A and B are shown apart, each in its own frame.
Chain A
Amino acid sequence: MRRLRGWLLRLGGLFRRARQERDLAAEMESHLQMHVEDNLRAGLSAEEAHRQALIKLGGIEQTKENYRDRRGLPFLETLFQDLRFAGRLLLKNAGFTAVAVLTVALGVGANAGIFSVVHAVLLKPLPYPESDRLVMVWEKVSLPNYENDQNEPSPGNFADWRSQNSVFDNLGAYRNRSFNLTGAGGPVRVEGEQVSASLFSVLKVNAALGRVFTAGDDQPSGRHVVVMSDGLWKSRFGSNAQILGKTILLDGESYIVVGIMPPNFHFPDPDDQLWVPIALTPQDLANHGSHYLLVTARLKPNVTLAQAQGELNRIAQHLTELYPDTNTGVQANIVALREEIAGPVRPALVALFGAVGFILLIVCANVASLLLGRASARHREIGIRIALGAGRIRILRQLLTESALLALLGCVFGLLFARWGILGLKLLSPPHIPRMDEIQIDTSVLVFSLAISLLSAFIFGVLPALQATRANVNDSLKEGARESAGGARLRTRNLLVILETALGVVVVIGAGLLLRSFLILERAPLGFQPQRVLTFRVIPRGERYLQLAGRTAFYRQAIERIEALPGVKSAAAVSFIPLTFARSSKGFSIEGHVPPAAGEIPVAAYDAVTPGYFQSLQIPLQSGRDFSWRDTPQAQRVVIINKAMAQTYWPGEDPLGKRIKFGTPDDPFPRWTIAGVVGDIREFDVLTPPRPTVYLPVSQADDSNYVLRDWVVRASVDPLTIASSIRSAMREVDPDLPVSRLRSLEQVRNISVAPQRFNLSLFGLFAALALLLAAVGIYGVTAYSVAQRTREIGIRVAMGAQRGDVVRLVLAQGARHAALGIFLGLAGAFALTRLMERLLYGVRPTDPVTFAGVTLILTGVALLACYLPARRAMRVDPIIALRYE
């Protein structure tokens, strides 16, 4: 306590300096006078009395100095003194300061920006209470013809897991569903979820206003109720609390609004605005064969993921014995919710974080090189300080304080860059990065930036400072003496250049590999022509469309209406357009084939389409015929299969006329005759190879699961120009159906490669930055070396060296360093790029083309950076050079 009080007073002592100084002087004065008087009384002469008193005191100034040390905090006083000095120095060398601060700012900015993403996406807990215990529960399916670690659970499995486990507080199921919200304000499509009542208690989130669902709501017989997001409540209902208890129209049906969620709540997707009870029927809950749920659960306290996994494995085993037809090869797979969200982006973020880390190192090398260059200009100043008795540590400290000030200035501007970067990122809004709304410059990002700035200050400051204080006092003080440490400094700077070239090579190779992958991706055959195709979403829901006939009539009428528009070649509808992750699959059996063993039933993806779909997307019809409106429920049931399906199940045979049935041969389902074979398309994304797919004609697909959502229109003009006429055409057919997701199929395609494009853009940006910094570094050092060697070059020219010789001399030296740097960089890249393997497609991490290309680029940049100073060397006038100092 006493000691703390002392420290606080000393801290205070830093500020009331003037008064305390007067006080101290007066006290010394009075002490001396008293002593002198005593001495006089003892009979000394006036002069001697004064002298003795001074000796006894031990000198006024020394006493004062000891007193001051005790009074304030010498550490802080020195720091302030150094900071003031450093500030003046930086102001005086504005050019140097600007370059150094900008360099640091680029490095810190890139790091702060990426860290803010890493922090929000990978490090921060999810925005739900005790979110570390939230998990996703998947089916893990391993069958001879189907493997999936994250298969969507069937309602039967969900129900049995829920009733038989002892490891979860609760499990909640949900399923994405969009709604046509009609009423005042016109029809809009709103994304939402059907959820079990237990979901909100799993998340431990309650409504901000009203309530969430009760078990009573979540019954097939329950009333239609809905919980709304804060965003929708604000935008559509003006934050009016009176909405509670009122009804809104969703897909033409009335729902009572029972709750409004808190402002920042979203689950599972940020654009979800509505939640309704999923109300699974007893039949649903006994169904182990249809897989369409998503399941989130909360682990009990003190239950580990592994324990929970163990118990679910036992339950799954038991279910397999109970339901061999549906549950053979079906296990459970528990994944932490945070991992579920962060896992897919982690490799990219880690790679980017590595790239910016390298950039920071290059920045450090550059600033260190700059400081070394400046140290030669300051060697006399430092020599004088040492001669005047400044200790080496004291000078080191002062130089490091200067570096720290530089770094902190860089940090401030870097944070500004990071802020702009984050704004740009949000504008770009890459679809694959989760938790975008949580990305911001918060305390953690500030602390991180400050820490890396100070660390950089140490890295780039310590070497020049050590070298500066090693200078020989005698040499530096001699008037006109050439600087002795110059050679050592140049050697250090050369090392730095080699290092930053190497670091640059690694980053540029990373970008090069991503570029190669992306080019391969761009060239991957899609199986359809996305050019000049417009797509949009209109889902016929409501009373009119409950029956197949009503839906079919709607599709046919809408397509006829659209095809009559100018600029339209053909139009069609499909359950889901390609390149969107939204396709289900079904087990089927082939007529005449041996019935498959349990769990070995063949599986195919399925899509329902209208006639003209293949023509609109220009998917080639390889044999047979397209669907037509004559394929009515009364006519023969027909399907079209893709090439992958034909080759898998009818190798070397003609599949036309063969018949299949969904489910096992014993199921009471109708048979479908294969009427055509079409080419394969990329259905999920550009990377996933085609899998066996069955297309059903919508006019015969009477299960309401086959409702068509997406529409495609092939245009003879730029597809976006016909967007508005299509909107009005659809409004004429049914004014209550909102048109959403209106965009060209090329935009869809771009979105599907957006993650790769995003990684490439950022990596490319960082590679450009690394190249620029390396070039600046090489240029700086070569220019410095040329300046140092001016006299030598002058002598060479005087002795008859040609301009070409001089340029070669300078270039050869630069090239040696660059070659060494590139070699080291290639070795480093060879070791490091394998960490990027998951981001690459079609190229190996050690792709020789990329490595060779980057070597060429770096060599070119290095030679160019050397050539500019070399040209200056070439123009050296021997007369001036020999006088040069």
Chain B
Amino acid sequence: MGEKADVWQGTLALMVLKTLQALGSLHGYGIARRIEQTSGDLLAVNYGTLYPALLKLEQEGYISSEWGTSNNNRKAKYYRLTRAGRKQLEKEAREWEQITEILARFMAPGKESA
């Protein structure tokens, strides 16, 4: 546990927000499948870890939930982005881009040093 989980929690939240932005309203199972597919099945984690993350985002007001009916006529809890969630997504996406950019510079063979 510890820091690794925190990092995972942070990125997981970003992925959830991004997924909901792309697909609109979606239930937990759908979000889990979507994240798995998008990551090209590289991220093979328990779906179960998604639910506390959803709860946290909801407690913080970034997403909201309500019960609805799925395509197959099943009752399911649907999550959607709130306005605050949209803003948070933009902010976190920007930060993420910055971080990846910085890391990319470190990782790429620098022209100056060559």
Contacts and interface: CB of A to CB of B under 8 A. Distances in A.
Interface in A9-57: 9-10, 23, 26-28, 30-31, 33-35, 37-38, 56-57
Interface SS of chain A: helix, strand, loop or mixed? helix
Q: Which of A34, A38, A58, A71 has the most CB of B within 10 A?
A: A34
Nearest to B52: A70
A70 B48 contact: no
B74 A33 contact: yes
B83 interface: no
A30 B56 contact: no
Contacts of A34: 27, 29-30, 70, 72, 74, 76
B55 A30 contact: no
A27 B51 contact: yes
Contacts of B27: 30-31, 34
Contact of A67 (B51, B72, B77): B51
Interface in B30-83: 30, 33, 46-49, 51-52, 55-56, 59-62, 70, 72, 74-77
Interface in A376-392: none
A201 B75 CA distance: 78
A38 B71 CA distance: 13
A197 to B, nearest CB: 65
A185 interface: no
Contact of A27 (B28, B61, B62, B70): B28
A348 B28 CA distance: 71
B8 to A, nearest CB: 13
Contacts of B46: 56-58, 63
Given A30-B74, A34-B29, A34-B76, A66 B52 contact: yes
Q: Which of B48, B72, B75, B84 has the most CB of A within 10 A?
A: B48
A62 interface: yes
A58 B77 CA distance: 19
Interface string A49-92: 00000001111001100110111000000000000000000000
Counting contact residues on chain B (CB < 8 A from A), the size range is 20 to 34
A851 to B, nearest CB: 60
Interface string A714-732: 0000000000000000000
Nearest to A30: B76
Contacts of B62: 2
B91 to A, nearest CB: 12
Contacts of B76: 27, 30-31, 34
A67 B52 CA distance: 5
B77 A57 contact: no
Contact of A37 (B51, B52, B56, B72): B72
Contacts of A63: 46, 48-49, 51
Contacts of B74: 30, 33-34
A6 B51 contact: no
B29 A31 contact: yes
A30 B61 contact: no
A838 interface: no
B77 A30 contact: yes
A523 interface: no
A758 B100 CA distance: 78
A6 B56 contact: yes
Contacts of B33: 38
Nearest to A20: B55
B60 A3 contact: yes
Q: Which of A2, A28, A62 has the most CB of B within 10 A?
A: A2
A10 B28 CA distance: 21
Contacts of A23: 77
A6 B60 contact: yes
A63 B72 CA distance: 25
Q: Which of B59, B72, B74 has the most CB of A within 10 A?
A: B59
B48 A5 contact: no
A5 B49 contact: no
Contact of B77 (A27, A33, A69): A27
Contacts of A57: 46-48
Contact of A35 (B29, B52, B59): B29
Contact of B48 (A33, A37, A62): A62
Contacts of A70: 52, 55-56, 59
A11 to B, nearest CB: 11
Contact of B47 (A3, A30, A31): A31
B86 to A, nearest CB: 14
A57 B84 CA distance: 29
B4 to A, nearest CB: 15
Nearest to B46: A58
A10 B49 CA distance: 18
A607 to B, nearest CB: 83
Contacts of A30: 27, 29, 70, 74-77
B28 A31 contact: yes
A62 B48 CA distance: 8
A26 B55 contact: no
B95 to A, nearest CB: 15
Contacts of B77: 23, 26-27, 30
Nearest to B88: A2
A58 B56 contact: no
Given A30-B76, A34-B29, A34-B74, A66 B49 contact: yes
Contact of B52 (A31, A38, A69): A69
B32 to A, nearest CB: 8
Given A34-B70, A34-B76, 16 more contacts: A2-B60, A2-B61, A3-B60, A27-B28, A27-B51, A30-B29, A30-B70, A30-B75, A30-B77, A35-B29, A35-B47, A56-B47, A62-B48, A63-B46, A67-B51, A67-B52
15 contacts: A6-B56, A6-B60, A30-B70, A30-B74, A30-B75, A30-B76, A31-B76, A34-B27, A35-B47, A57-B46, A57-B47, A58-B46, A67-B51, A70-B52, A70-B59
